[in-house]
Amino acid sequence: MTDSTKLSPQVRNAPTVLIVGGGPTGLTLACALARGGVSFRLIEAVPGPQPGSRGKGVQPRTLEVFDDLGIVERVIANGRMAMPIRSTAPDGRVTLSGAETLKDRPDVPYPASLITPEWRVEEALRLRLAELGGTVEFGTALHSFEQSDEGVSAVVVSGGETEAITARWLVGCDGGHSTVRKQAGIAFEGETREEIRMIVADVEVDGLDRDAWHMWRHEEGLVNLCPLPSTNAFQFQAGIAPGLDTELSLANMQSVLDHRSGRTDIRLHDPAWSSLWRANIRLVDRYRERHVFLAGDAAHIHSPAGGQGMNTGIQDAYNLGWKLVAVAQGASPALLDSYEAERRPVAAGVLALSNARLKQTLEQKGIPTNRDASTTQLSVGYRGSALTRDDREESAPLRAGDRAPDATKLTTVEGERRLFDLTCGGQFTLLSFGSTPAVAAPASGLRTLRAVGQPTDPDDIVDTEGHLAKAYGAADRTLVLIRPDGYIALISDAGDVSAVSRYFDAIG
Ligand SMILES: Cc1cc2nc3c(=O)[nH]c(=O)nc-3n(C[C@H](O)[C@H](O)[C@H](O)COP(=O)(O)OP(=O)(O)OC[C@H]3O[C@@H](n4cnc5c(N)ncnc54)[C@H](O)[C@@H]3O)c2cc1C
């Protein structure tokens, strides 16, 4: 990888990053780069924003990312937390399950998953991107690219015109059919199971309340109608076994619903979007080819059971985003190697989880929901990553690599805050407890917070109810370094300030 001061003028004056694909993954990456002051272009093949509820489940960990990016209120305003599920068994028995929540936990600000259409998530990200000075170039498709020692030269097509774009890095956020992945020669290993299909559509519905996600279990397969908050529509989902009609017409959907629900009083009308989904379960063999990275569905696809796909793509982008910002600003390019090392195992875990959920759905054993500890993504972490350091026992509940927990009821000179209010914004934060010596010369971009008895300085926090010390298992001299993406980089219970300097030396 090239030192930025030695780049040719052509590359130095070009956008640093070319992002291909303006779905949730590409938009999240663009927001992270815009916030970090890194130049980029974001191209999107389709002419304008796409309809379609698709990934309608936003997990608690993704809400934390949205909080950090400053859009969580906008997203929540268009969604519903902890939507209950009303499930009707083949014998007519009805069960109502409230979504499990992690309510009243000072370390978890968003206690449940949120239902909102995917296009609303994209809309909120696009609005944030505009606030940060960025834009999506709709109607602009990647045609091809070549790599040199310095970066990437891409050919893009817009309105029949071709344009050459040179960039230091190219990130393919271009979905399951990724042109970037194919042209980079990265294998997409796994299987396509043509026999597992599902009609998905956004339709308006008469004769059904919007208080719950309605699910009917039938020997032919499930049918779901989930109200889509902030719209008049429901998401229709029906598994279509081999031999059944896959036509995306309203008449076919109505007939599937009537047959499986046993009701004739529910009428579907005004479909706004529909799609036939086929089970594709694949993971790339690598996330990077020299200056080219893959993120989101371009790198991993699986069944929507468990509601993980969009969330995993957003987390990919959030992981890669701060690393690209850091390297663009002079950190060691080796930092970028940690992207695949940290994210590929997570995607492999998501594939296993969604496969298990899909099997459960097909066999109709129990009610598959999108909400429990395995799907919140709060336990995703990077223990064992090259970017972790700690002096804790193997068995300690909180180690470097884990998600940095939140804590409420912190008193600062500006009033009561929660930790996430103080750590947001895409910087490293050094949190110190007790009698830790001050860090002599904090690295630039390092924010410091000190847990003290009485706040006198903007960096001081009083842990009024002890939630902070409890969440971090803090001892008298504990130091915690939190990464820009909200994971713990380093913990030193010995208060080893030099370990912090060594950490920054190591990542350059
Ligand atoms: C029925 C269904 C239900 C789902 N439910 C959930 C759920 O509950 N929770 C969840 O997390 N996920 C869910 N998902 C998955 C989720 O929709 C995807 O994981 C998510 O859209 C992936 O986002 P992405 O940005 O990586 O890719 P995409 O959203 O596919 O975006 C890729 C973009 O790249 C553009 N593009 C492609 N080629 C080019 C090119 N050559 N040049 C420029 N642009 C290009 C495309 O036009 C597209 O806009 C569901 C999916 C389906 C189908």
Give the tens place of pLDDT for each residue, 264-311: 999 999 999 999 999 999 999 999 999 999 999 999 999 887 888 999
| Residue whose CA lies nearest to ligand 1 atom number 29 | 23
Residue 481's pLDDT is 97
Task: Give the containing element (helix H, strand E) for 256.
Answer: helix 250-261
Q: What is the mean pLDDT of residues 346-375?
A: 74
CA 310 – ligand 1 centroid, Å: 7
Tokens of 104: 């009243």
| Residue whose CA lies nearest to ligand 1 atom number 4 | 55
CA 54 – ligand 1 centroid, Å: 8
Q: Which of 310, 314, 374 to mutate to test the pocket of ligand 1 (most atoms within 8 A of CB)?
A: 310
Give the tens place of pLDDT for each residue, 447-463: 999 999 888 888 999 99
- pTM, rounded to two decimals: 0.95
pLDDT at 78 over 60: yes
Give the tens place of pLDDT for each residue, 202-250: 999 999 999 999 999 999 999 999 999 999 999 999 999 999 999 999 9
Q: What is the mean pLDDT of residues 154-180?
A: 97
Residue 45, CA distances (Å) to 23, 174, 181 in order: 11, 9, 16
Tokens of 114: 């949120």
Residue type, 352: A
Tell me the pLDDT of the chain averaged across its residues: 92
> Angle at the Cα of 440 (from 435 to 441), degrees rounded to 5?
140
Query: Tell me, which fold does domain 4-83+101-190+280-363 have in CATH?
Result: FAD/NAD(P)-binding domain (3.50.50)
What is the rounded CA–CA span in Å between residue 42 and residue 12?
18
| Residue whose CA lies nearest to ligand 1 atom number 5 | 55
Backbone φ, ψ for residue 404 (5° rounding): -75, 115
What is the rounded CA–CA span in Å between residue 268 and residue 117?
18
Strands 169-172 and 17-20: parallel
Q: Which of 31, 114, 118 to mutate to test the pocket of ligand 1 (most atoms within 8 A of CB)?
A: 118
Residue 2's pLDDT is 44
Q: How many CB atoms lie within 10 A of CB 94?
A: 10
Residue 455's pLDDT is 84
CA 464 – ligand 1 centroid, Å: 43
Query: Tell me, which fold does domain 389-507 have in CATH?
Result: Glutaredoxin (3.40.30)
User: Residue 279's beta-bridge partner residues?
Assistant: 193
Give the tens place of pLDDT for each residue, 178-190: 999 999 999 999 9
Residue 1's pLDDT is 39
Residue 139, CA distances (Å) to 23, 27, 29, 51, 169 in order: 13, 15, 19, 16, 21
CA 45 – ligand 1 centroid, Å: 13
Q: Which of 41, 54, 225 to mutate to test the pocket of ligand 1 (most atoms within 8 A of CB)?
A: 54
CA 479 – ligand 1 centroid, Å: 39
Q: How many CB atoms lie within 10 A of CB 1?
A: 16
CA 22 – ligand 1 centroid, Å: 9
| Residue whose CA lies nearest to ligand 1 atom number 2 | 54
Res. 372 pLDDT band, cuts 50 70 90: low
Find where tokens 């696009």 sit: 126
pLDDT at 438 over 70: no
Shortest CA distance to 30 belongs to which of 121, 132, 107, 140? 132
What is the rounded CA–CA span in Å between residue 135 and residue 143?
20
Atom nearest to 25 CA in ligand 1: 25
Contacting residues for 161 by C-beta, under 8 A, at least 6 apart: none
Q: Which of 174, 308, 372, 377 to mutate to test the pocket of ligand 1 (most atoms within 8 A of CB)?
A: 174
Atom nearest to 27 CA in ligand 1: 25
Give the tens place of pLDDT for each residue, 5-40: 555 655 556 899 999 999 999 999 999 999 999 999
Enumerate residues lining ligand 1, CB below 6 A.
20-26, 43-46, 54-57, 118, 141-142, 173-175, 179, 200, 277, 296-297, 304, 307-311, 313, 370
What is the rounded CA–CA span in Å between residue 407 and residue 179?
43
Query: Tell me, which fold does domain 192-279 have in CATH?
Result: Alpha-Beta Plaits (3.30.70)
Residue ranges of domains in the chain = 4-83+101-190+280-363, 192-279, 389-507
Q: Which of 173, 297, 308 to mutate to test the pocket of ligand 1 (most atoms within 8 A of CB)?
A: 297
CA 164 – ligand 1 centroid, Å: 26
CA 283 – ligand 1 centroid, Å: 15
What is the rounded CA–CA span in Å between residue 149 and residue 290?
9
Give yes or no for a contact between 444 and 508, defined as CB atoms under 8 angstroms apart. no
Residue 439, CA distances (Å) to 15, 410, 448 in order: 35, 22, 9
484 vs 440 pLDDT, higher one: 484
Residue 432's pLDDT is 95
Atom nearest to 200 CA in ligand 1: 1
Res. 98 pLDDT band, cuts 50 70 90: confident
Residue 13's pLDDT is 64
